[in-house]
Structure 1
Amino acid sequence: MEFCEEVWQALSTQNIKKLPPTQEIVAECVNGFHRRGFPQCLGAIDGCHIEIKPNTTDATDYYNYKGWYSVVLLALVDYRYRFLYINIGAPGRCNHSHIYNPSLLKKVLTED
């Protein structure tokens, strides 16, 4: 929670874009990646594990394949490393596809 609070304090004054992105934002991102040698790319997506100390009742859900307890941060960034989407809090045992498949990001990318 301390990490989340710090991120919120640091970013709360920034102009955070909402989903779905506008056509202008999509075009800017695709063109930016194209200039860097990645044609037809909207963003780069990856996840990372943030170590936690879970309640004993929830511990098995948060035990990850690396051998420790965590929550997963899954993020999509644009060609300038600006966040386009952030999902944080999934239990550490979840892989990225288990987080992405039910996400708003997937819904927006497949429906819009």
Structure 2
Amino acid sequence: MSTHILFGCPIAVVIWCWVRDALNWRGAPLCFQNLNVSIGPSSNMKSSGFVLIASVCWALWKTRNNWVFNNVLISNLKVVAYQIIGFVQQWMKLQASPEELQADVTMLMEGIRRW
């Protein structure tokens, strides 16, 4: 069930494709085991990568719960995209070197503008 919510539902597929395009990943992940294949070996999968992945998953999870438990459906997929950026920016402050994430945030914002 969580694999569907985080990777398989139409909202998740579009969001992962947006992240893929914004950060120049090779592909959109289909499951947790597929993340390294999608991102590619050249990617910096240190704490910045984990914060980004956690932000995407948390935003998708919260969107699903808001729909199921509060009957609130998002009006635009950009709502989820901005949630992801918000989580990354908040959690960036907790990192030892937040500048690693700043480049990802910039690329994600540019991806929203192109979207």
TM class by shorter-chain length? Answer: under 0.3
Determine which structure has more spread, i.e. the larger CA radius of gyration: 1
Structure showing the higher strand proportion among its residues: 1
Structure showing the higher helix proportion among its residues: 2
Q: Which has the higher contact order (CA 8 A, sep 6+)?
A: 2
Tell me the TM-score normalised to structure 2 length.
0.25
